[in-house]
Amino acid sequence: MPDSKQMTLTAAISRFVPDGASVAMGLAQEILIPFAAGHEIIRQNKKGLTLIGPISDILFDQIIGSGCVQKICAAWIGNVITGSAYNFRQAVENGEIRMEDHSNLTLATGLRAGAMGIPYMPTRSALGSDLFESNASLKRIICPFTGDTLTAVAAITPDVTVVHVQRADIFGNAHFWGNLGITREACLASKQIIITAEEIVSPEVISSDPNRVFTPGFRVSAVVHAPWGAHPSPAPGYYNRDHQAFVDYQQTSKTAVDYACWRSRWVDAVHGSDDYVKLMGKDRTNTLALTKGVYSEPVNYGY
Amino acid sequence: MGIEKTTPSGQVLYTPAELMVTAAAREIHDGDVIFVGMRLPLLGFQLAKSTHAPNAVGVYELGIVRDTAAPEPILTMGDLPNLYRSQWLADTADVMGLLQQGLVDMSFIGGAQVDRFGNLNTSYIGPSGRPSTRLPGSGGACDLACLAKRHIIIMTHEKRRFVPKVDYITSPGYGDGPNWRKRIGLPRGGPARVITTLGVLRFDSQSREMVLASTHPGVSIADVLDSTGWPLLVASDIQETPVPTADELSTLRQFDPDGFWTG
């Protein structure tokens, strides 16, 4: 029997996200963004982080606003339904953070190279763009077989990848359903993996459907029980997207003072998921929680 | 939102965004594989699927392929109705692989700045090392502009956005003109239309320069020229952009009942 990897969110972030770490998060784009884990990074006042992700909606802006970040390696940073994000804009415009500009495909390609254990992988994207100007990990190469010009993307190997999922066991085996984004590449390419989960279930539940496992459990460092841990992003099978929270964040993060108020209420005053659920309020959780189940047909894994 | 459908004289009323979405939807042919972007394109695909293009297939960068319209209104492509009974839930790299292979007929992208050859900037105003304004970035837009068979740009038509030369090319158009895409190694594609708040523009097949093809009702050619930062070419057969039909509007409003995108 392996040792349990379950721990508190505080312990997981403290142990596996040191200052200066490169952290991949928000890998399925709009769904299952690990907001609870991101807020714990803010509470622990981490410094000098590199954030890696395709489009992490407002999570990256929230972490940038607390001065935790020195570099961003991403394709798009903002608020998906309202546009620009203020902390991110200001930090780049003031020269406080460095950018490594990717497209979604170049980021996926770099992580896939990392996952495959090779130094780079080619793509046909980005040629003719200025991404080369603001991302030194992209280089033009000539294909040795066809003579075509291609973009080589250097392998990306995050120090730690944080993924929020529907259910996990205490040993790091977990199920994720919905669109995957670059979740699998990021986990496989990463040195450490932190899983936060809506539910902790028995190992038999996970092993009953290994096709739904997105990364092998032996590679996972920590498992955290974090119900509502993706709110306000949606969690398939658990809750819908809280659009109003994204609109509200846009309104309450326009200045340093506004952001400090937001942070004090939604981050500093929260110690664990019970606090968070209480803060959300019954009306909100009742509205967002899925009430009717729509289940897939079981598959037969017999032998 | 209480948008009146018609005036007492029977004239159909619509918002500028509804006209733009309808123009975008009409570019989708039945059976096309469409790479669907955020905001207005999200609605354009839903509208086309529900009207003239029931066999269109939608590909979404976060790893979704749909051959039906989402059953309920969505604000992002990751809203759960867009996952429900989709054709495929997958990895970004896999749906981008469809694009890279040349299997995507058309894509839609938005922009903050565009130039006469359809190069788009959604990254930096001013030098990238010390910008005056940092914009959100590429997302999948660069990939769509590089690798779809054609792409359509949707944006607000203002002089500060329609500039002679963009500060940064996030999503390549025709570069500096004819043969540029081939020369720098792009396998195919290029912008086919620019749908703006004032009109619809296409690209000359020889020079690859933007040409005003239609103006929206109530907009003059002079209005468009005044809102464009270079001497814009005007098609000899310039027309008025067709307005949405009552049927298109009522369908569209089912997908955006609160007018979040089109109000």
Q: In this structure, is residue A1 part of a structural domain?
A: no
Q: B3 pLDDT exceeds 60?
A: no
Asked if B92 lies within 8 A of A76 by C-beta distance, the reply is no
Contacts of B123 in chain A (CB under 8 A): 101, 130, 134
**Cβ(B131)–Cβ(A92) below 8 Å:** yes
The two structure tokens encoding residue A135:
């991302």
Touching check for A131 and chain B: CB below 8 Å? Answer: yes
User: By C-alpha distance, which of B186, B107, B34 is closest to A125?
Assistant: B186
Q: A134 pLDDT exceeds 80?
A: yes
Q: CB atoms < 10 A from the CB of B141, how many?
A: 30
**A232: cis peptide before it, omega within 30°?**
yes
CA B246 to chain A, closest CA, distance in angstroms equals 27
Q: How much is the average pLDDT of A57-80?
A: 97
Q: What is the DSSP letter of A13?
A: H
- SS3 call for A171: coil
Residue A58: CATH number of its domain: 3.40.1080.10
pLDDT at res. A227:
98
- Rounded to the nearest 10 degrees, the angle between the axes of helix A104-116 and helix B92-101 is 110
Q: In this structure, is residue A105 part of a structural domain?
A: yes
Whole-number Cα distances in Å, A181 to A214, B34, B36, B198: 11, 18, 15, 35
The two structure tokens encoding residue A83:
């546009």
Structural domain span for residue A118:
9-287
Cα A102 to chain centroid, rounded: 16
Taking the alpha carbons at both ends of chain B, their separation in whole angstroms is 7
Q: How much is the average pLDDT of A37-64?
A: 97
- Dump pLDDT digits (tens) for B160-191: 999 999 999 999 999 999 999 999 999 999 99
Token pair 């009702």: residue: B217
Q: How much is the average pLDDT of A103-108?
A: 98
- Dump pLDDT digits (tens) for A170-218: 999 999 999 999 999 999 999 999 999 999 999 999 999 999 999 999 9
Phi then psi for B3, rounded to 5 degrees?
-75, 125
Q: DSSP readout, chain B?
A: ----SB-TT--B---HHHHHHHHHHHTPPTT-EEE--SSHHHHHHHHHHHTT-TT-EEEETTTEEESS--SS--SSTTSHHHHTT-SEE-BHHHHHHHHHHT---EEEEE-SEE-TT--EE-SEES-TTS-SEE--B-TTHHHHHHHSS-EEEEE---TTTB-SS-SS-SB-SSTTSTTHHHHHT--S--EEEEEESSEEEEE-TTT--EEEEEE-TT--HHHHHHTSSS--EEEEEEEEPPPPPHHHHHHHHHHSTT-TTT-
pLDDT at res. B39:
86
Q: In this structure, is residue A180 part of a structural domain?
A: yes
CA B212 to chain A, closest CA, distance in angstroms equals 25
Q: In this structure, is residue A297 part of a structural domain?
A: no
The model's confidence at residue B37, banded by pLDDT at 50, 70 and 90, is confident
Q: B1 pLDDT exceeds 70?
A: no
The two structure tokens encoding residue A159:
């120090």
Residue to mutate among B89, B134, B169, B181, with most A CBs inside 10 A, is B134
Cα B165 to chain centroid, rounded: 20
Active site residue B72: no
| Alpha carbon distance A235, A277 (integer Å) | 15
Number of domains, chain A: 1
The two structure tokens encoding residue B16:
């500028």
Q: Which residues of A123-155 are buried (b: 16+ CB within 10 A; e: fewer)?
A: bbbbbbbbbbbbbebbeeeeeeeeeebbbbbbb
Q: In this structure, is residue A3 part of a structural domain?
A: no
- In chain B, whose CA is at the least distance from the CA of A30? B78
| Alpha carbon distance A168, A221 (integer Å) | 13
- Dump pLDDT digits (tens) for A246-276: 999 999 999 999 999 999 999 999 999 999 9
pLDDT at res. B10:
61
Domains and CATH numbers, chain B: 1-104+243-263 (3.40.1080.10), 107-241 (3.40.1080.10)
User: By C-alpha distance, which of B174, B70, B81 is closest to B120?
Assistant: B174
Report the complex ipTM.
0.97
Q: Which residues of A2-15 are buried (b: 16+ CB within 10 A; e: fewer)?
A: eeebbbebeebbee
Q: In this structure, is residue A295 part of a structural domain?
A: no
- Please give the model's pTM, rounded to 2 decimal places: 0.96
pLDDT at res. A2:
82
CA B36 to chain A, closest CA, distance in angstroms equals 14
pLDDT at res. B7:
60
pLDDT at res. B2:
33
- Dump pLDDT digits (tens) for A11-25: 999 999 999 999 999
What's the number of CA atoms in the CB half-sphere (13 Å) around residue A20?
0
| Alpha carbon distance B46, B259 (integer Å) | 15
- Dump pLDDT digits (tens) for A153-180: 999 999 999 999 999 999 999 999 999 9
Cα A302 to chain centroid, rounded: 35
